Structure 1
Amino acid sequence: MTALSPEEQALVDPIDRAPILGHTLEWAAVNSGTANLAGLADMAGRLADAFAALPGEVRLVDPAPIEKVDREGTLRPVGHGRHLVVSVRPHAPRRVLLTGHMDTVYAADHPFQTCDWPDADTLHGPGTADMKGGLALMLAGLLAYEQSQPALGYDVMINSDEETGSLSSAALIASLAQGKLAALTYEPALPDGAMARARPGSGNYAAVVRGRSAHAGRNPEDGRNALLAAADLGLRLAAGRRAGLSVNPARIEGGAPNNTVPDLAILHFNLRPATPELAETAQAMVTEAIAAVSAAHEVTIHLHGHVSRPPKPITPGTKALFGLARKAADDLGQPMHWKDTGGVCDGNNIAACGIPVLDTMGALGGAIHSPDEFLLASSLDARARLTALVMHRLERQNLSA
């Protein structure tokens, strides 16, 4: 370590890997797939108990009601777990937001449920990097920061639905972001320590296509084939791909028996615009394609969804926050760089509130969202030290400096 003051050295020295790893292993053993409400309740309780060690109010917030299009083309309520919020020094004049998520992509019946060690530094397991390890090191960094007689206030928000777009926690995130000087989000960094820079936006959609059924042999001309219309819509949308705009028609549901013209199909698709201007372009493209397909196939199409993750550009405030974090990382002997990424996270939502955010403060790891997911155990205590030092310096420095 270099360039640390005696006060800073005393701040980070006590941080030990063992309790951070203990929490990571305990929490990774709990299946908390976004749809596993029992597992999420278990996870929320464990997190509430652990984060109660901080000198603040711990509360579990009910999710906002969310509906999703089912296989019949009908909107149905979707259950979500409660979100954890910890408020420390809520009346402090300078406050920070720290966020993470307790849910994973692994369902309760997914075969990937246990951890193992391919080597002494690699922990292979579900949610280890994304982001049970990040939650554990965030807590350790904050506990270390609390030993320094701090004045900086902060909120911790750990939601239960990040992996499916944070629809039931978006309003909570926006509310907590208000008035914050900066935000730190604990998505995993890459194995070499690379951090995410700019991110595109993301929107998930379901287009419910309703046609008219008819006998496939006797009078097919009387039918209006919803499946063909959905396929046509998917092709038109895919043709709208361009630099800075990804369009992914992902799934068609519906159809009918082979002897019937299908009167229902549901096209699910994802849009990822790199800029707010491209988000508007994408919306116009979708509207135009729906109108054209509706007319060509004589069907009705109802669209559900929106760009729920706004594009995350890099602002002067974000650059200043990264500069502070990079200097802290360099001083800790953890060289840091950043680069643009195609992924999205709650950092997108926070940036849309005008708050500088660094959203890959978590453990180093890789192969997330797959049975090969892993984290590097040596990054747990290293990144906890980074959290403590960044909080310490945010208290004492202006981001514009």
Structure 2
Amino acid sequence: MQHIIKSTLLISLLFLFSHTTLANTTIEKEIAQYIDKNLAKSKAMLEKTVNINSGTMNFDGVKKVGAIYQAEFDAMGFDTQWVDGSKFNRAGHLVASYGNSGPKILMIGHLDTVFAKDDAFQNYSVVDDSHIAGPGITDMKGGDVIIIAALQALKALNLLDNVSIKVVMTGDEESSGRPLSLSKKALVDAAIWADIALGFEDADGDIKTAVVARRGSIGWQLDVVGKPAHSSQIFTDNVGYGAIFETARILNSFREQLAGVGNITFNPGLIAGGTEVQIQPENSIVQGFGKTNVVAKEVTVKGGIRTLTSNELAQAKKVMQDIVADNLLHTSATLTFADGYPPMSPTDQNYALLKMYSDVSESLGYGPVAPVNPRNAGAADISFAADHVDMAIDGLGLMGDGGHTKDEVADMSTFAQNMHKAAILIYRLGESYTQ
């Protein structure tokens, strides 16, 4: 849904930013020069943290990466805290705050990766002059370092006093702790405080794009029950069709009625059926036992659904529940939905913030920045913040390819560029607010 502006702050900000002149070009050059001068230190920090395994469930590794970043914020005079994650079975989150004037800006990163402690992909390695491979280098330790480097430049040049900053680096973006009301509380609280949210994921890996909308992602489970009997009696009035035929009807009806509708996609990723089904939710395992001469009694399907707006999600849920309720003879079915990532809906304010970011990029000679197709950007932590702020964009991090795989490689030509853009965007937001 469209956001309601909290105050006149952002209306004024949009107007003033659009009338920014070139009077501050010298200062902006100094910001870029400071970043470039300290780029080797930023690369060293990136290498150090990429070489620390911080798979979501490796709590010690997540905390070690968080401690390195926390020390950087402490050195800049930020107020920092580690939010303990024991209540939601995760390592926790790093929160760093600075300032109490000007626009309130939330910067979002995450400390964890998809690579477990025993994964074979563990190390930072140079591919060539402009590419470096490493677990989590683009998703998203590169983005974390961009946050830190941009703020270090502004702090060193005494340019942070016109904005208020809150940085949240979560420890469970890749596998959220439960309940979400606890695991996402630090992020949501920061978003409620903020006016603007900036996310530093790598999005679709293209420096010429940024994210104004992300589809939400939630899980669903379908449980179907039929009447067990000898298979010779299937289709009779006494036995009916069995659980597997009913499941096939339901899934095919989902496809027929929802495939290609708006930005809705859904996927049954796991299925088991037969005389008996056993579920191990902690290991994402579903096992079925049955025989070819017995009509199936049970089926369980686990899947996911992605939508761009809350209305799309409500529409999809209704269609799916209506299909599930129209059962074949002697069968019944239950469809349940889990908590997950809400949509980051496209809004006029998000597009306006992207325009500001694109203006910065063009002024630096890097060219315009266009919106990412939401189908090319997965769910991310900014989705929990977007509905609480006036404007939000994501995809401001280190670009590259192969995220979530052993082929994850960063395009290091984008490293300094996105530091420049983030720092100057924040600087201009602060200057616009004071005009």
TM-score exceeds 0.5: yes
1:393 to 2:428 alignment: yes
* 1:288 matched residue in structure 2: 322
Which of residues 82, 95, 106 is equivalent to 1:85?
95
Higher helix share goes to which structure? 2
Structure 2 unaligned regions, length at least 5: 1-20, 272-285
Cα offset, 1:216, TM superposition: 6.0
- The code of the aligned residue for 1:7 comes to I
Q: Structure 1, residues 173-198: CA drift from partner, whole Å, max 9, x if none?
A: 22111242211110115554122344
Cα offset, 1:222, TM superposition: 7.0
Q: Secondary structure at the match of 2:60?
A: helix
* Paired residues, number: 384
Q: Structure 1, residues 191-224: CA drift from partner, whole Å, max 9, x if none?
A: 5412234434223223152637857679988799
* 1:164 matched residue in structure 2: 175
Cα offset, 1:128, TM superposition: 0.7
Residue pairs, 1:7-46, within 5 angstroms:
7-15=27-35, 16-46=38-68
1:238 to 2:247 alignment: no
* Kept after mapping to 2: 8 A contact 1:34/1:161: yes
Compared with structure 1, are the counterparts of its residues 257 and 223 closer, same or farther at alpha carbon in structure 2 (3 Å cutoff)? farther
- The code of the aligned residue for 2:133 comes to H
Which of residues 234, 254, 259 is equivalent to 2:287?
254
Structure 1 unaligned regions, length at least 5: 67-78
Distance of 2:203 and 2:341 partners within structure 1: 23
Cα offset, 1:284, TM superposition: 0.6
* Kept after mapping to 2: 8 A contact 1:224/1:263: no
* Worse-superposed segment, 248-257 or 192-201: 192-201
Which of residues 384, 405, 415 is equivalent to 1:349?
384
* 2:11 matched residue in structure 1: none
* Kept after mapping to 1: 8 A contact 2:240/2:330: no
Identical amino acids, percent of aligned pairs: 22
Compared with structure 1, are the counterparts of its residues 92 and 36 closer, same or farther at alpha carbon in structure 2 (3 Å cutoff)? same
* 1:324 matched residue in structure 2: 356
Question: TM-score under structure 2 normalisation?
Answer: 0.79
Question: TM-score under structure 1 normalisation?
Answer: 0.85
Cα offset, 1:397, TM superposition: 1.3
Distance of 2:61 and 2:186 partners within structure 1: 22
Compared with structure 1, are the counterparts of its residues 31 and 262 closer, same or farther at alpha carbon in structure 2 (3 Å cutoff)? farther
- The code of the aligned residue for 1:281 comes to Q
Aligned-pair Cα RMSD in Å: 3.0
1:275 to 2:292 alignment: no
Q: Structure 1, residues 208-241: CA drift from partner, whole Å, max 9, x if none?
A: 5263785767998879955554444333323322
Distance of 1:391 and 1:132 partners within structure 2: 20
* 2:213 matched residue in structure 1: 199
* 1:333 matched residue in structure 2: 365
Compared with structure 1, are the counterparts of its residues 163 and 332 closer, same or farther at alpha carbon in structure 2 (3 Å cutoff)? same
Distance of 2:106 and 2:195 partners within structure 1: 8
Q: Structure 1, residues 122-149: CA drift from partner, whole Å, max 9, x if none?
A: 0112111111111111101101111233
* Kept after mapping to 2: 8 A contact 1:81/1:160: yes
- The code of the aligned residue for 1:250 comes to G
Compared with structure 1, are the counterparts of its residues 80 and 263 closer, same or farther at alpha carbon in structure 2 (3 Å cutoff)? farther
* Worse-superposed segment, 139-148 or 38-47: 38-47
* Kept after mapping to 2: 8 A contact 1:155/1:176: yes
1:140 to 2:140 alignment: no
- The code of the aligned residue for 1:12 comes to A
Compared with structure 1, are the counterparts of its residues 80 and 302 closer, same or farther at alpha carbon in structure 2 (3 Å cutoff)? farther
Q: Structure 1, residues 367-388: CA drift from partner, whole Å, max 9, x if none?
A: 2122221112232222222222
Cα offset, 1:303, TM superposition: 0.9
* 2:408 matched residue in structure 1: 373
* Kept after mapping to 2: 8 A contact 1:186/1:360: yes
Distance of 1:102 and 1:216 partners within structure 2: 54
Distance of 1:216 and 1:46 partners within structure 2: 64
Distance of 2:64 and 2:329 partners within structure 1: 51
* Kept after mapping to 1: 8 A contact 2:221/2:336: yes
Cα offset, 1:42, TM superposition: 2.8
Distance of 1:396 and 1:32 partners within structure 2: 37
Compared with structure 1, are the counterparts of its residues 153 and 296 closer, same or farther at alpha carbon in structure 2 (3 Å cutoff)? farther
* 2:332 matched residue in structure 1: 299
* Kept after mapping to 1: 8 A contact 2:215/2:374: no
* Worse-superposed segment, 256-265 or 363-372: 256-265
* Worse-superposed segment, 189-198 or 218-227: 218-227
* Kept after mapping to 2: 8 A contact 1:131/1:188: yes
- The code of the aligned residue for 1:130 comes to D
- The code of the aligned residue for 1:105 comes to V
- The code of the aligned residue for 1:233 comes to I
1:185 to 2:199 alignment: yes
Cα offset, 1:245, TM superposition: 1.4
Q: Secondary structure at the match of 1:158?
A: strand
